[in-house]
Amino acid sequence: MLALAAAPDETELRAHIEQGLRAAPRRVGAGGLVRLGFDLGAVEPWRLLRAQGLAEQPERFAWHDEAGDLTCLALGSVASVEAAGPERFGAVQRWCSTILERTVDLGRAASRAPLFVGGFAFSDRAASDGPWALWPDARWWVPELLIQRRGARSELLLCAQDSRSAGSLAALATRVREALAAEPVAPRAASVALPGEDEPRERWCRSVEIVRRRILQGELKKVVLARARRFAAPKGARFDPEATVENLRARERRAICFLIRGPRGSTFVGASPEFLARVDGSRLSTEALAGTRQRDADPARDRAFEVELLQSAKDRSEQSIVASAILEALAPIASSVEHPAEPEIERQRSVVHLRTPIAAALRPGTSPLEVARRLHPTPAVAGAPIGDALTAIAEHEALHRGWYAGPVGWIGRGQAAFAVALRSAILSDEEAFAFAGAGIVAASDPEAEWRETALKMATIERALAARELAP
């Protein structure tokens, strides 16, 4: 694999790219894709979030998953798909299968890199207005440029359709090399403390009480009710999604941090404490996450909150519902499943949760998207039974979730990772909407659930960044 820094000029880069692209028509036919890899050494991919010469790319996806050992930045698109309705997972799967058959990966780095990036909305109920109005139920694409880091090594992946793209790819690779050689662009944005606008507290708490009574009557076991908080950008400034996600990554080190640029400049960012699935060949890992307590700077009080959570019948019941539903969803596609008998404590920066790690061996022929389809939505973000809980959410939530709590992530050859898009917000220049939900069970207290959602929203609130407009 050629080291990007070793190519002396754009002419040699173009020759190297043309050599790889010429193989594509013979090996995959017309319309096929080819990906070429370059060694970047020990480069931090997110360093190029603000790089001059790359910021104009309309498609943008950033991912940091420390536990999954992958940080990446994807720019541009050479192929994409949007899907809507109940069959959206199947439609994306069919498109991905076609692209995989027509793609040649040149080099070891390309064969183990994400090929597709994107995500799904929480439901197939499209938004007609509000911040999600232009976002599709599902959107996935093949990046033109992807920088990935695993361990201490980084690679640049370039993707194109035919040899006619060699010149533009060489120019793009040159811009990457120039950006890496330049001094890192310092963030021009600053964190901002802003008052948020909530939906009426009384109305939301009344919905919680209505749902709780239905649970007591045996209609439901659990329902997750979410709410949103709106923030307006400071006068003379606009929200900066790159600075916001950088703040999230710096503060929420155990979370999966992501950035997805959407239609007309809106951007979805988050620092999710929960992954839906990681797939590596036939091996699957997932988790059942539920229950929340705040953390404390005092170690004794911090531990006391953990003990309280472990001993809470309400939270243990809520978390058990999630674990049972995941195990039931895996039964048709897993030949074996392993998990501990008791949940453990999952520690985030400001909160702790109950967590059951689950490992499974997938049956032959099970794709990552089939895994995602069967697992989403879990009772951690919807409730139980799932169908009845989704109906209750549609009846009692005063917001459209959009991509909040949906699966977002990446897919490669035999590998994939999906996060549940929690601790998240959608940002435009002028406004931002943060989202959080709480699991309602028979023992729920509406005021306590309101406070829990406020605690979760604080993750985004502390990270929001804005930059002043040029005079």
Same domain, 173 and 209: no
In a domain, 208, yes or no: yes
In a domain, 377, yes or no: yes
Strands 103-106 and 33-41: parallel
* Geometric angle at alpha carbon 219, from 214 and 222, rounded to 5°: 75
pLDDT of residue 243: 93
Q: What distances in angstroms separate CA 340 from CA 358, 359, 394, 398, one per listed residue?
A: 8, 10, 34, 37
In a domain, 186, yes or no: no
Out of 242, 246, 252, 274, which one is annotated catalytic? 274
In a domain, 43, yes or no: yes
Reading the chain (471 residues) residue by residue, the pLDDT tens digits are 555 554 556 677 777 677 766 655 555 555 678 888 888 888 899 988 887 667 667 789 999 999 999 999 999 999 999 999 999 999 999 999 999 988 887 766 666 789 999 999 999 887 778 899 989 999 999 999 999 999 888 999 988 776 556 777 777 778 888 888 776 666 666 667 677 788 899 999 999 999 999 999 999 999 999 999 999 998 889 999 999 999 999 999 889 999 999 877 899 999 999 999 999 999 999 999 988 898 888 999 999 999 999 999 989 988 999 999 999 999 999 999 999 999 999 988 888 899 999 999 999 999 999 999 999 999 999 999 999 999 999 999 999 999 999 999 999 998 999 999 999 999 999 999 999 999 999 999 999 999 999 999 999 999 999 988 876
Q: What is the DSSP letter of 185?
A: P
Same domain, 150 and 32: yes
Same domain, 110 and 252: no
Same domain, 175 and 210: no
* Geometric angle at alpha carbon 48, from 71 and 254, rounded to 5°: 30
pLDDT of residue 349: 82
Same domain, 157 and 305: no
Active site residue 222: yes
Q: Find the helix packing angle between 201-216 and 386-396, rounded to 10°.
A: 150
Rounded CA-CA distance 85/260 in Å is 21
Task: Give the domain CATH number at 174.
Answer: 3.60.120.10
In a domain, 209, yes or no: yes
Q: What distances in angstroms separate CA 390 from CA 93, 179, 371, 442, one per listed residue?
A: 24, 46, 20, 17
Same domain, 233 and 288: yes
In a domain, 114, yes or no: yes
Active site residue 221: no
Number of structural domains in the chain? 2
Same domain, 125 and 155: yes
Alpha helices in 182-298 (DSSP H): 201-216, 241-251
Asked if 258 contacts 60 with a C-beta cutoff of 8 angstroms, the reply is no
Distance of CA 413 to the CA centre of its chain: 19
Q: What is the DSSP letter of 229?
A: E
Asked if 151 contacts 165 with a C-beta cutoff of 8 angstroms, the reply is no
Distance of CA 197 to the CA centre of its chain: 25
Rounded to a whole number of angstroms, the distance between the first and last alpha carbons of the chain is 46
Same domain, 325 and 212: yes
Asked if 423 contacts 319 with a C-beta cutoff of 8 angstroms, the reply is no
Backbone angles phi, psi at 344, to 5 degrees: -115, 175
Asked if 205 contacts 450 with a C-beta cutoff of 8 angstroms, the reply is yes
How many other CB atoms are found less than 10 A from the CB of residue 471?
4
Same domain, 302 and 156: no
Give the end of a domain, one of 181, 201, 232.
181
Asked if 115 contacts 99 with a C-beta cutoff of 8 angstroms, the reply is yes
Give the end of a domain, one of 137, 160, 181.
181
Out of 59, 155, 221, 222, which one is annotated catalytic? 222
Same domain, 432 and 456: yes
Domain, as residue range, for 464: 191-468
Same domain, 47 and 73: yes
In a domain, 58, yes or no: yes
Strands 153-160 and 190-191: unpaired
Same domain, 287 and 344: yes
Using CB atoms within 10 Å of the CB of residue 440, give its burial: 0 to 12 exposed, 13 to 18 middle, 19+ buried. buried
